[in-house]
Amino acid sequence: MDPRFLAHNSHLINPKKFEQNDPQLAFLKTRKITYHWPLVKELPIKEAGIYTLEGGRQIGKTTLLKQWMAYLLKKGVNPQAIAFLSGELIEDFQSLLHLLQFQIQEMPKKGMKYLIIDEVSYIRDWDKAIKFAADAGMLRSTVLVLTGSDSSLIKEARARFPGRRGKADIVDFHLYPLSFREYVELIGTQKDLESSFKKYLIHGGYLTAINDLAMQGMIMPATLVTYSDWVRGDMMKRGKQESYLREIIQSIIKCYSSQVTWTTIANNLSIDHPKTVIDYLSLLESMDTILIQPALIEHKLTAAPKKARKISFRDPFIFHALRAWVEPTQDIYKNQILKTIEDPKLCSLLVEACVANTYARYYPTYYIKGDGEVDIAYVDQGTFWPVEVKWANHLRSAELKQISKYKNGLILTKNDHPGVVGGIPTLPVIQALLEVNPL
């Protein structure tokens, strides 16, 4: 094996001590709270093919793959049949092809091979190497797993090697930060869900932030900086300007979960054209940094292209990390994060975004604009389901004007028990977040 990758392939030297020597798995042992991704047992073992694993930065894709490698070893897979390559160290498709040829030649001739290329989108024209290798028969009897933090690049490249993916029912996987339900299951408590939800609005589903709060009693500045640096770095690598990115992030926070048009955003920034705004926002969306909710055309169950959108961050932690970058202050945790949670308006916006992003994991998700607004409308079973989020102590009938038009409407509230308001059923936000799991 190329010596550059040996640190991530310690199983080749001593498979019994892989979990001790691997950098990601060894680090887990220093954490108070660790998570074993269920997806480990869903990844392929017996079906050769080209598989993809998408997900934003810093959510644990690499750790998941190391857990999968440990799982393969426990299943009796020959250690020499497993290899992990980091795309950040591979320059272009020619270098990748050379590495693939060399690595596959070193692997056992009989049996299945397991080859991981982490952050493949860093490799220039990587899909050319994969297509050539597949067409040349190099990937026969090989489970090839490709990961990337930019879903648009992966999706574009997937289209270039149809028919080469394999026979498995599922070939594409998506990793998200922990949902609130997954977080509650992880910490193993149902006793004080209100306190757990407040913590979730601070650290979101990011395990590093979860451990910060559990071990240090706060989100460490370095954790916030690490995430914002990754976002900035990935945008710069794609030719974007940091000054424009900062302005756009500031605009998202200013108009958080409100209706905005691309033109409105552009008019309030130094950016000359709405298309530039669209380019930046589309890339942030493909990086799982933001969720863009279009308005719903009700009779078509599709997006209304000419209406305003609503934009939120995909996780509460992302909100805090990027706000800390664009609005720096002393003692970020005390003076910004905690004050956000204590501010009724800001906290309400975080809660609404949390609900919208939870539904968006499983369903096409929109909002409704009519005589009034409905925060979320998700599409399932050939119809749309309107959901209004009211994180307030009292509900005003005037705010329910639009959702009252629908027989299947639902209001999510701050209350701790279900009820009915104006003939519309209500459900506690926390209960709804625990139940949104159609799989």
> What tens digit of pLDDT does each residue of 90-139 get?
999 999 999 999 999 999 999 999 999 999 988 999 999 999 999 999 99
| Residue 10 and residue 132 in one domain | yes
Beta bridge partners of 365: 378
- Which of 174, 203, 236 corresponds to the end of one domain? 174
Q: Which of 42, 69, 49, 41 is nearest to 142 (CA)?
A: 49
- Which of 139, 174, 209 corresponds to the end of one domain? 174
Q: How far apart are CA 3 and CA 9, in angstroms?
A: 10
| Residue 208 and residue 148 in one domain | no
| Residue 344 and residue 429 in one domain | yes
63 contacts 175 by C-beta, under 8 angstroms? no
| Residue 154 and residue 275 in one domain | no
pLDDT of 273 reads 85
Two tokens at 162? 């149809």
Sheet containing strand 309-313, edge to edge, reads: 259-260, 309-313, 290-293
Write out pLDDT tens, residues 45-81.
999 999 999 998 889 999 999 999 999 999 999 999 9
Quote the radius of gyration of the chain (alpha carbons, Å).
23
Residues of the chain with pLDDT under 70: 163-164, 438-439
Two tokens at 168? 């498995």
Residue 115's domain spans which residues?
A: 3-174
Task: Identify residue 123 by its one-letter amino acid code.
Answer: I
| Residue 197 and residue 159 in one domain | no
| Residue 214 and residue 252 in one domain | yes
| Residue 273 and residue 166 in one domain | no
CATH number at 30 reads 3.40.50.300
pLDDT of 288 reads 94
Two tokens at 340? 């956000």
Two tokens at 367? 């909002």
- Which of 118, 139, 174 corresponds to the end of one domain? 174
| Residue 23 and residue 170 in one domain | yes
| Residue 170 and residue 191 in one domain | no
pLDDT of 439 reads 55
| Residue 361 and residue 292 in one domain | yes
Q: What is the domain count for the chain? A: 2
Q: Which of 138, 155, 312 is nearest to 146 (CA)?
A: 155
| Residue 287 and residue 139 in one domain | no
| Residue 285 and residue 340 in one domain | yes
